[in-house]
């Protein structure tokens, strides 16, 4: 091989890859319209993106898997912890992460900015991105959820526990949040009645309790989830 | 040193070394924050995000200063002429360093564009662009005036132009988060797996040729093949970042296939280096510089080639994307491909600028082996943490902090290894700034 041949190899390799790449870029632009739901990309969402960048959230958290790895991924954060969960954490991280060994700064984000951030996260959560991240995938129950469901039989209380946001703060077998205590053996400490009473109004039992009173559950759901928890021994 | 203007490179190198040290100090703080609790009162005023922005921006700045210094050292010898304007080179250095200082202080007060690695605000971006233009003008004019073109020069100038051009894609605000990341990777990926590879391949070829005395025609021939392969695989290989961002599905195929080929040029570079050693015509006077060159080729292969390959396949990347596995790859690849390359240039050029023909390698040797060993082990401890995270968080679906609690030990190990790396780095910086000529062997 001569130097001239080598030069042509360089030129052909670079140009072919470059042209293919530019063509795919053009096509990606067309398809992203639908994949990211550009029709729902409102001013509020854009304002939320600006707030996200203003507070440098991305240098602790990842979003779509990019950024720093110091804190949870935010792609599906609305789905995972709900709008209220997001508000609570941003507004008062000291309180929200009081029992966590890793902290989040209080950046004094305004109410309006928090609203915009929630809109932004909601929009991001709906991007059609190949069902990533796996831990938030709806297609497959995570292993620990499977164990939980199997252990509880087909329990309606387990379903309430999973679907009504208890796991945003509490965990079972390591799955769930860390703000509240793990509930793996809660049935050993509290009776069914005590649990039901506590869920309805935590502050009546413990004035320092951080847990909000669960006002949105129906009477039947109270009974079911309390029965489920009382059996965890 | 044959040309007076090569001296400018010295200050680029010295400042790069200082910034490198600062980068590692910030890195130690980050590793500490990963495994120990930093109280809320400190987190509120100096959050992890600020330290991380400093860590990564210092990395980019010191490496770019190293490349620029390297360029100012090489171009006179390649063109056989002085740099077009030494004054411009000084102005450029001052502008870039001032921007760096302003950016770092700004981060402390929350002055940021808030996009990882591209945090510096638009105002400062403009200064960076002006600095880059001065640099390109100065280097370009030197080459045009000399009218002596070589493949090494062409690759160097082409790489630097490409590098500057790509930076522009990181400046605007994008409304759409998907498009934002799409172009973010035009800067980050096409830098480290495109433009930077060109610049460093040219610098590497130059040092290789000078050290071994192998014929220029042979070195430049392989240079063409390598950069051709780098760009062929690297450009479309950008697709391995587009798997999960909301881009079309075909990126899984294009990204997967092209990036699986990405180790090829690195492997070729390694083989080519070993081949040149055998064919060498000169006696190698400074064995350490040579050891670093081989270390660079080997670590480049491990960090960028092997580690990159490991989690670039979509089926694996689905679970490892955005975990400590990425961190492991990032550290090993940057250290192997770019930190060691810069260190090699420092050890090649700084003694020459100081007029030391054969330097005393004893301290440098300790520093080199300490840093390489510590970094390799750091890559492994980050990697273990990453595998734990992948399994506990991604496969088992347990909570983020649950996974972090299992990883805590390994991140603590990383902190200790980081301290070892820092010790090695301090020895190297001291050695390079106060180089001693080798003692003559006892007659």
A149 band by pLDDT with thresholds 50, 70 and 90: low
Q: Range with the lowest mean pLDDT among A34-38, B177-181, B214-218?
A: B214-218
Structure tokens at B74: 């090489």
Closest by Cα among B401, B420, B325, B422 to B34:
B401
Structure tokens at B252: 């899984």
B443 band by pLDDT with thresholds 50, 70 and 90: very low
Q: How distant is the alpha carbon of residue B23 from its chain centre?
A: 12
Q: Residues B364-378: what's their mean pLDDT?
A: 98
Across chain A, mean pLDDT equals 88
Superfamily of domain covering A40-136: Cytochrome c-like domain (1.10.760.10)
Q: Residues B146-173: what's their mean pLDDT?
A: 94
pLDDT attached to residue B398: 80
Closest by Cα among B229, B226, B235, B190 to B205:
B226
Q: Range with the lowest mean pLDDT among A25-29, A67-71, A150-154, B389-393?
A: A150-154
Q: Is the dihedral of CA B64, B70, B73, B79 positive or negative?
A: negative
| pLDDT (tens digit per residue) in B192-206 | 999 999 999 999 999
B364/B343 Cα distance (integer angstroms): 10
pLDDT attached to residue A145: 59
Which residues of chain A have a CB within 8 Å of the CB of B242? 28
Percentage of the residues of chain B whose pLDDT score is greater than 70: 99
Alpha carbon of B267 to those of A129, B270, B298, B304, B436: distances in Å? Answer: 33, 5, 9, 10, 35
**Of A148 and A196, more confident:** A196
Q: Residues A104-109: what's their mean pLDDT?
A: 96
Which residues of chain B have a CB within 8 Å of the CB of A106? 40, 44
| A-B C-beta contacts closer than 8 Å | 250
Q: Range with the lowest mean pLDDT among A215-224, B51-60, B282-291, B353-362?
A: A215-224
Same fold for the domain at A40-136 and the one at A143-230?
yes
A61: β partners: A71
Q: For residues B59 and B25, is the Cβ–Cβ distance under 8 A?
A: no
- Within 144-183 of A, beta carbons closer than 8 Å to B belong to 144-145, 171, 174-178
- Within 101-120 of A, beta carbons closer than 8 Å to B belong to 101-107, 120
Distance from CA of B351 to the nearest CA of A (A): 33
Q: Residues B72-82: what's their mean pLDDT?
A: 95
Does the predicted model carry a pTM greater than 0.80?
A: yes
Closest by Cα among B337, B413, B404 to B48:
B404
> Do the chains contact at A56 and B43, CB–CB below 8 Å?
no
| pLDDT (tens digit per residue) in A172-190 | 877 777 778 889 889 898 8
Distance from CA of A134 to the nearest CA of B (A): 6
- Within 41-70 of A, beta carbons closer than 8 Å to B belong to 41, 46, 49-50, 52-60, 62-70
A92 vs B: CB within 8 A: no
Q: For residues B176 and A126, is the Cβ–Cβ distance under 8 A?
A: no
Judged against a pLDDT cut of 70, whether residue A146 lies above it is answered with no
Q: Architecture of domain A143-230 in CATH?
A: Orthogonal Bundle (1.10)
A140 band by pLDDT with thresholds 50, 70 and 90: low
3-state secondary structure of A62: strand
Domain ranges for chain A:
40-136, 143-230
Which residues of chain A have a CB within 8 Å of the CB of B249? 130
Residue A42: how many other CB atoms lie within 10 Å: 13
Judged against a pLDDT cut of 60, whether residue B366 lies above it is answered with yes
Q: Range with the lowest mean pLDDT among A147-156, B17-26, B123-132?
A: A147-156
pLDDT attached to residue B28: 98
Percentage of the residues of chain B whose pLDDT score is greater than 90: 91
B253/B245 Cα distance (integer angstroms): 15
pLDDT attached to residue A173: 79
Closest by Cα among B114, B101, B102 to B52:
B114
Calculate helix-pair angle for B151-167, B177-190, nearest 10 degrees: 160
Q: How far apart are the first and last CA of chain A?
A: 75
> Do the chains contact at A102 and B37, CB–CB below 8 Å?
yes
| pLDDT (tens digit per residue) in B305-336 | 999 999 999 999 999 999 999 999 999 999 99
Q: For residues B170 and B184, is the Cβ–Cβ distance under 8 A?
A: yes
| pLDDT (tens digit per residue) in B428-440 | 999 999 999 998 7
Across chain B, mean pLDDT equals 95
DSSP secondary structure string for all residues of B410-428: HHHHHHHHHHHHHHHHHHH
> Do the chains contact at A64 and B246, CB–CB below 8 Å?
yes
B92/B85 Cα distance (integer angstroms): 11
Smallest Cβ–Cβ distance between A1 and the set B33, B114, B221 belongs to B221
Residue with tokens 């090494």: B152
Judged against a pLDDT cut of 60, whether residue A71 lies above it is answered with yes
Alpha carbon of B206 to those of B84, B161, B211, B316: distances in Å? Answer: 20, 19, 9, 38
Closest by Cα among B247, B268, B259 to B204:
B268
Smallest Cβ–Cβ distance between B321 and the set A24, A65, A174 belongs to A65
Judged against a pLDDT cut of 90, whether residue A215 lies above it is answered with no
B144 vs A: CB within 8 A: no
Q: Residues A126-133: what's their mean pLDDT?
A: 95
Residue A126: how many other CB atoms lie within 10 Å: 15
| pLDDT (tens digit per residue) in B260-313 | 999 999 999 889 888 888 888 888 889 999 999 999 999 999 999 999 999 999
């Amino acid at each position: 091989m001569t130097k001239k041949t080598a030069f042509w190899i360089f030129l052909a390799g670079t140009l072919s890859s470059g042209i293919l790449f530019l063509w795919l870029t053009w096509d990606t632009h067309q398809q992203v319209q639908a994949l990211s739901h550009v029709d729902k990309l409102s001013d509020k969402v854009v304002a939320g993106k600006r707030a996200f960048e203003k507070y440098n959230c991305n240098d602790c958290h990842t979003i779509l898997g990019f950024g720093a790895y110091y804190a949870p991924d935010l792609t599906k954060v609305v789905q995972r912890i709900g709008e209220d969960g997001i508000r609570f954490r941003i507004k008062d991280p000291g309180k929200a992460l009081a029992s966590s060994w890793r902290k989040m700064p209080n950046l004094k984000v305004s109410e309006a900015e928090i609203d915009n951030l929630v809109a932004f996260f909601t929009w991001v959560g709906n991007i059609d991105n190949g069902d990533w991240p796996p831990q938030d995938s709806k297609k497959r129950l995570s292993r620990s959820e499977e164990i939980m469901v199997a252990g509880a039989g087909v329990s309606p209380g387990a379903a309430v526990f999973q679907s009504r946001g208890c796991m945003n703060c509490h965990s079972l077998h390591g799955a769930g949040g860390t703000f509240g205590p793990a509930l793996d053996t809660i049935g050993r400490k509290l009776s069914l009645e005590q649990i039901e009473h506590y869920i309805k109004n935590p502050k009546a039992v413990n004035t320092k309790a951080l847990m909000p009173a669960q006002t949105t559950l129906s009477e039947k759901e109270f009974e079911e989830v309390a029965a489920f928890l009382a059996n965890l021994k | 040193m044959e040309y007076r203007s090569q001296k400018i490179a010295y200050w680029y190198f010295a400042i790069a070394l200082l910034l490198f040290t600062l980068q590692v100090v910030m890195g130690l703080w980050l590793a500490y924050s990963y495994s120990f609790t930093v109280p809320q009162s400190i987190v509120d005023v100096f959050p992890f995000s600020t330290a991380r922005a400093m860590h990564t921006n210092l990395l980019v700045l010191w490496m770019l200063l190293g490349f620029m210094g390297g360029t100012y050292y090489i171009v006179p010898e390649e063109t056989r002429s002085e740099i077009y304007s030494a004054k411009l080179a000084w102005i450029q250095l001052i502008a870039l360093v001032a921007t760096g200082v302003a950016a770092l202080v700004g981060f402390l007060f929350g002055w940021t564009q808030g996009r990882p690695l591209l945090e510096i605000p638009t105002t400062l971006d403009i200064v960076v662009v002006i600095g880059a233009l001065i640099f390109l003008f100065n280097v370009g004019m030197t080459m045009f005036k000399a009218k002596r073109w070589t493949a090494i020069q062409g690759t160097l100038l082409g790489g630097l132009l490409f590098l500057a051009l790509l930076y522009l894609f990181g400046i605007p605000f994008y409304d759409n988060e998907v498009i934002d990341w799409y172009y973010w990777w035009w800067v980050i990926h096409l830098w480290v797996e495109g433009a930077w590879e060109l610049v460093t391949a040219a610098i590497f070829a130059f040092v290789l040729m000078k050290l071994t005395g192998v014929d220029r025609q042979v070195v430049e021939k392989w240079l063409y093949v390598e950069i051709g392969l780098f760009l062929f695989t690297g450009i479309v290989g950008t697709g391995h970042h587009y798997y999960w961002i909301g881009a079309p599905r075909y990126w899984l195929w294009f990204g997967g296939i092209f990036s699986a080929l990405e180790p090829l040029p690195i492997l070729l570079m390694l083989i080519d280096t070993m081949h040149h050693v055998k064919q060498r015509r000169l006696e190698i006077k400074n064995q350490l510089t040579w050891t670093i060159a081989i270390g660079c080729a080997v670590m480049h292969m491990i960090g960028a080639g092997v580690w990159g390959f490991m989690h670039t396949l979509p089926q694996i990347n689905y679970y490892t994307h955005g975990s400590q596995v990425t961190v492991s790859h990032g550290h090993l690849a940057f250290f192997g491909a770019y930190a060691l390359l810069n260190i090699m240039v420092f050890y090649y050029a700084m003694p020459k600028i100081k007029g030391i023909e054969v330097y005393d390698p004893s301290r440098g040797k300790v520093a080199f082996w300490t840093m390489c060993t510590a970094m390799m082990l750091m890559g492994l401890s980050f990697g273990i943490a990453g595998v734990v995270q992948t399994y506990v968080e991604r496969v088992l679906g347990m909570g983020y902090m649950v996974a972090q609690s299992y990883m805590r030990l390994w991140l603590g190990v990383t902190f200790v290894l980081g301290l070892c790396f820092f010790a090695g780095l301090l020895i190297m910086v001291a050695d390079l700034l106060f180089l001693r000529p080798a003692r003559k062997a006892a007659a």
